[in-house]
Every structure is written in C-alpha cells, then in structure tokens.
Amino acid sequence: MEIVFKRPECLIDVPFHFCPGCHHGIVHRLVGEAIDYFKIRERTIGVASVGCSVFMYDYFNIDVLEAPHGRASAVASGVKRARKDLIVFTIQGDGDLGAIGIAEGIHTANRGENITLIFANNGIYGMTGGQMAPTTLLGQKTTTSPYGRNFTYDGYPIRMAEMIATLEGSAFVARVAVNNPSNLMKAKQAIRKAFQMQIEGIGFSMVEVLMSCPTNWGLSSLEANRRVEEEMIPYFPLGIFKERKMADYL
Amino acid sequence: MDQSCEKVLVRGNEAIAMGAIDAGCRLFFGYPITPQNEIPEYLSKHLPPLGGEFIQAESEIASINLLLGASATGSRAMTSSSSPGISLMQEGISYMAGSELPAVIINISRSGPGLGGISASQGDYFQATRGGGHGDYRVLVLAPSTVQEMYELTYLAFDLAEKYRNPVMILGDALLGQMKEPLIRKKPPPMDLPPKDWALTGAKGRKPNRIKSLYLQEGELTEHNWKLYKKYERMKQEEIRFEVIETEDAHLIIVAFGSMARVARSVVEMARREGVKVGLFRPITLFPYPEKPLREISRRVKHFLTVELNTGQMLEDVRLSVERDAEVYFYGKPPGALPTPEEILEQLKKYYGRSGSA
Ligand SMILES: Cc1ncc(C[n+]2csc(CCOP(=O)(O)OP(=O)(O)O)c2C)c(N)n1
Ligand code: SF4
Ligand SMILES: [Mg+2]
C-alpha cells in the first residue's frame, strides 16, 4: 500500500507539548515538510526563540540553537555568516519579533541576510500566560489589556509582513494562515518558497503565519480557527507582499 | 621578512585586532563606541580579504547575539565594545555561559556610570569578574597592561574560550586602547584543544546537536550549575596568571592591574631609587583571581596598597586573598586624570612607615 501521508522525516516521533488546537504544531509540521522536500535535513540549523516554540529542539531531528528572547534573527544571521553552506531558519512569536526583537528583525531583513524567518503571529504572549502583544487586535482583551486594547494607551497592532516588505533587503515576504485546509495548502507553498529563496541564495525570506492560541484566547479550537478568519485576517490580510526573482547582487 | 614575527608600532586596539586575526578569528560583529573604534575599523578592512565577515550591527545587543550564533558553529568569532555597550551585552553573555559557548569579548572600558566619559577607568571590574549578567556564572577575564600583551592575551583568549567552552573577556581601557607601543607580532605556541563535537554543523551522520541554556527537568539545572562551577574551579587551578616585580625583599607591595599597573611600575622604580623597598603584584587574570600566589606573598609581607582607577573594586579580591594579619590599604581615583607616580609614592610612604621599615 502506498503511504500518502506521514510524519516528516525531520520531525521526531514524540507528542507536542502544545495545547490542543494550537497552531504551533501545524507550523512545525509545515517547516518539517519543507526541509524534507528539499532534502536539507542534514545541513539545516533551527534557531529557537523564547516563546511557546522554544522546545523546537525536542521536535526537530536537526541541529538546534536557542536564542535569547527577541534575538533569534541576529543569532541566525551569526550562524549563516559563519557557515554559508548551512540552511538557517527561525520560528519567532509576535512578542519576540514584533516587540523586544523588532530591531534585530528589521536589520536582519534590511541586511538581506540569507535566512528564513517564520513569524508565528498569534496576537498574544502565549508562553507567559496571555499578555498583550504588539499584534493584539484593538478591543481584544488580554491579561494586561483587561478592558480591551485601546489605541490611545496601547497603540495599534503592528503589521510586520507589510513593514518588512518595504525594506530593500527582504526578498520574499508573505502572510498565511493555517485555520482551514485551503489556507493551509497556501501556507505550505509559502514556507516551501521561503526555504527555496534561501537555498537559491536570493536572500531574506519571511512567512508570517496567523495562528491561534485557544488557551489564552479563552476559545475552543474550532472557535479559535473561526476567530482567525473573522477577526485576524481582516486586519492582517493574507498574500505575498514581496517576491524577488534573483539576488540583488546577481 | 617572516610575517609571523614582524615588529610594528601600533595602538593597543590594533594589537587586539591583529591578535584576533592571527588566532584565526574570521568573524567580527560590533557597534561603534569610543574608545575602541580602531578594532572594528581595522577588522572591517582586514577580514574581508581573508574571506572573513564583518558586520556593523544595529546595536551591541545584536552584536553579542550574532556572536552567539557564529560561535555555535564552532567558528572563532569576536565582538568588542566599551562599557555602556558591554552592559547591553550582558544577557547574551549570560546565555553563552549557560549554553557553554566559546566567545571573545573585548571591553576597552571607559568611565561611568551612565554615559560617563571616554577617559580611562577601571569601574567595570565588578561587572567583568562577577559574571556581569544574570545567573551564577563567570567569564574568564584577562587584563593586559602593554600593547604586546593586548596582542598575546587576545590570541590566548580564543584558545581559552575553546578549552573551557566559555566566554573570555579582555578588560582594557581607553589608555591601553589608544597608546602606541612596539609590537612583535609573533604567534604564541599552539594549545592542545578539545574537539568541537558540540558545534552546530548540520546533523549529518550523527545525532542532532542542541545548544541551549533552558533546563526544566527536575534536577537538571542544579546539575548544570554544578558542572559550570567545576569549570570555574578548574580555571582557578590552571589559568592563574600574574606578574611580580621586586617582591622578594619588599616591605610593602602595590597591587594593580592594567593601565594602573603601568603607573605602579614607575612608582616601584622611583621608590627603589630612594631605597624604599616596595614591589608590585600585577594580576593578569582577574577571573580567576590570583588568590593563592598573593596569599603566599602575604605570609611574608604584611602591607599591601591596592591602587585602582575607581573607588575600590579589586580591593575586595585583595582582601579576600591575603592572610588575615596583613594590612590592605587603598588608593583610588575615580574617572578623570590618572594619578601620577609621585602622587602614589607620597601615599605609599605613609603606609610604608607603618610597616616599621622606614
Ligand atoms: C528578556 C526577556 N524578557 C521577557 C521574557 C519572558 N517571556 C518569555 S516568552 C515571552 C513572550 C512570548 O510571546 P510570543 O513571542 O508572542 O510567543 P508565543 O508564546 O505567543 O508563541 C516573554 C515576554 C524573557 N524570557 N526574556
Ligand atoms: S499557550 Fe497558546 S501558543 Fe502556547 S502552546 Fe498553548 S495554545 Fe499554543
Ligand atoms: Mg505570540
């Protein structure tokens, strides 16, 4: 019998620690599938950020390095500059990339570092228990915005993909979601494309993934998926914002 | 001429850059700050032709994390900065100590607190020798006092970083970084170093390597901290470096490091010409501190004058080192003008009288 669906080779056969319905596991799988597709498991380095994806090293059957909170893109650039033959990616939350590490994220993109950044945007600080994130939507209640995010006090949710796309240094920038099969297929393509850009040396690639955090949103898995569709996507439109055909220096 | 043995007149900062290149460092990350700019300037020019990488990062936070990433591949890499920038790097240094990553960090320190000034100071002694960031860790700290030493200790720093899988810091200051002296550019003998089987090079034909500092399983972190502790204890056994001058018949010994030790050396010469029997004890490793040799001397000599460009930091280590019946005096100068040898000699004579030998 032909096997049509299996665990990616570069994922270890252990249960994820993620809460039920959390999209982090799906994103791990999509990254794993891209690594398998390009057969680069033996030369890929993952850089874990501090957030719910920090345990990347327990799940990926590849070399993994842990970065301080917010610094994953700087750490990944250091790896890549030292070893250009390696494929380097990060998974960074919205607190990690959009708040504490926004300088490193912008400058990594602006230098056109040839790495791949997976931006896990769930609009909340998952790991620390549901505080307001830079991408928390207006009106959204969190443990530190108990009255709902109010722009006069908290500013507006940041659209990272659009911002990174404006930088000359970025080569590929997309925003995807994984809340239904059709979006998931597009997400898979985008993540694959992002790795391809790196493999071909075209430059910095980032895929922003709109993700659920059922636990800290206080919703069931299904409700959370629906919220991605009804509340997140209208503010964070899906699509490809930037796609270079070749490296700037070619 | 043998390139490995040329004699050149260079600034301390350039000597550091040369030491790094000769040690095989091919990656440098930094952010401009006076008085260390000659280091990135030199390396931005000389690394690319050697196939190396130079990044002027957006901040010292980025610099230290670029260094963390590069070090994780087993490559020799370095950053340099000055006091405020080193403060920004502390989280990254703590992560590297916790993740057992080798790295070389140069602090051509300036005066503080805050923006302070760009004059020489030894106000970063505590920060350098007590870990500096969060958690119970240490970095190995080397304190050069000449341009030649800035070259040699930088070279050595790369070996020691790999020997212990731990960050090594060179603690210099504005004076040492800026002054020019002749340098004999000769590589020290190679050191036997452990294989870098921990490095991230891609999990090919082996199990994946993981470099991290997060330990959540019961008892894991306790064990990890003890492991690090043993490493620091081993440094104390194997890496103590110091210099002694005219200590044999001395009645009083000056303890000073770095640029202050240069002034102290002149004080010893002047005093000796007057028949005043003083010596100099100069720690070269600030962590591990040369406690044992200093205690050894204090069995015989009972008067010590610690001289520092601050209000008293190394003083604590001197007090902890010497025998309990030894007197430790202090003469310190906060940032500003360096004390003159005459000034120190005058102070010294007050205490020298107490040693019962005047
Ligand atoms: C310097 C520092 N500040 C704060 C923290 C605490 N902290 C850990 S994870 C996190 C935010 C995680 O949120 P996000 O990046 O969105 O990731 P998520 O867990 O939502 O996937 C914070 C603030 C830390 N580890 N280090
Ligand atoms: S807290 Fe949120 S982001 Fe973290 S694992 Fe649970 S659902 Fe996922
Ligand atoms: Mg988040």
Q: What is the pLDDT of residues B269-288, one digit of tens each?
A: 999 999 999 999 999 999 99
Task: Note the Cα B348 to chain centre separation in Å.
Answer: 27
CA-nearest residue, atom 20 of ligand 1: A126
pLDDT of residue B1: 43
In a domain, B282, yes or no: yes
Task: Give the domain extent around B276.
Answer: 243-354
pLDDT of residue B3: 54
Where does a domain end: B238, B272, B289? Answer: B238
Residue B117 per-residue DSSP state: B
Query: Does ligand 2 come within 6 angstroms of the Cβ of A121?
Result: no
In a domain, A228, yes or no: yes
For B162-192, b/e burial (b = at least 16 CB within 10 A) is bbbbbbbbbbbbbbbbbbebebebeeeeeee
* Residue pLDDT, tens place only, A57-101: 999 999 999 999 999 999 999 999 999 999 999 999 999 999 999
Q: Within this chain, do residues B112 and B249 fall inside the same structural domain, yes or no?
A: no
Burial status of residue B2 (CB atoms within 10 A of its CB: 0-12, 13-18, 19 or more): exposed
Q: Within this chain, do residues B218 and B137 fall inside the same structural domain, yes or no?
A: yes
In a domain, B200, yes or no: no
Counting the structural domains of chain B, the total is 2
In a domain, B202, yes or no: no
Chains A, B: CB pairs < 8 Å = 129
CATH number, residue A51: 3.40.50.970
In a domain, B208, yes or no: no
Counting the structural domains of chain A, the total is 1
Measured CA to CA, the distance from residue B62 to residue B60 in angstroms comes to 5
Q: Within this chain, do residues B67 and B115 fall inside the same structural domain, yes or no?
A: yes
For A119-136, b/e burial (b = at least 16 CB within 10 A) is bbbbbbbbbeebbbbbbb
CATH number, residue B317: 3.40.50.920
Measured CA to CA, the distance from residue A16 to residue A28 in angstroms comes to 10
User: Could you tell me if B55 and A111 are in contact, meaning their C-beta atoms sit under 8 angstroms apart?
Assistant: yes
Distance from the alpha carbon of residue A98 to the mean position of ligand 1, in angstroms: 11
Query: Does ligand 1 come within 6 angstroms of the Cβ of A50?
Result: yes
DSSP helix, strand, coil percent of chain B (3-state; round to 5)? 40, 20, 40
B-chain residues near A45 (CB < 8 A): 73, 200, 202
Q: Within this chain, do residues B48 and B89 fall inside the same structural domain, yes or no?
A: yes
From A123, A143, A133, select the one nearest A214 (Cα to Cα).
A123
CATH number, residue B226: 3.40.50.970
In a domain, B1, yes or no: no
Q: Within this chain, do residues B266 and B304 fall inside the same structural domain, yes or no?
A: yes
Average pLDDT of span A18-39: 97
B-chain residues near A61 (CB < 8 A): 203, 208
The total of other beta-carbon atoms located within 10 Å of residue A138's CB is 14
The total of other beta-carbon atoms located within 10 Å of residue A178's CB is 23
Residue B338 per-residue DSSP state: P
In a domain, A9, yes or no: no
Report the predicted TM-score, pTM, of the whole model to 2 decimal places: 0.97
Task: Give the domain extent around A179.
Answer: 24-243
Query: Does ligand 2 come within 6 angstroms of the Cβ of A211?
Result: no
In a domain, A210, yes or no: yes
What is chain A's mean pLDDT, rounded?
96
**Of the residues A90, A97, A122, A125, which should be mutated to test ligand 1's pocket, given the most ligand atoms within 8 Å of the CB?**
A125
In a domain, B206, yes or no: no
Strand partners, B307: B331
In a domain, A2, yes or no: no
* Biggest distance spanned by C-alpha atoms of chain B: 72
Average pLDDT of span B227-244: 98
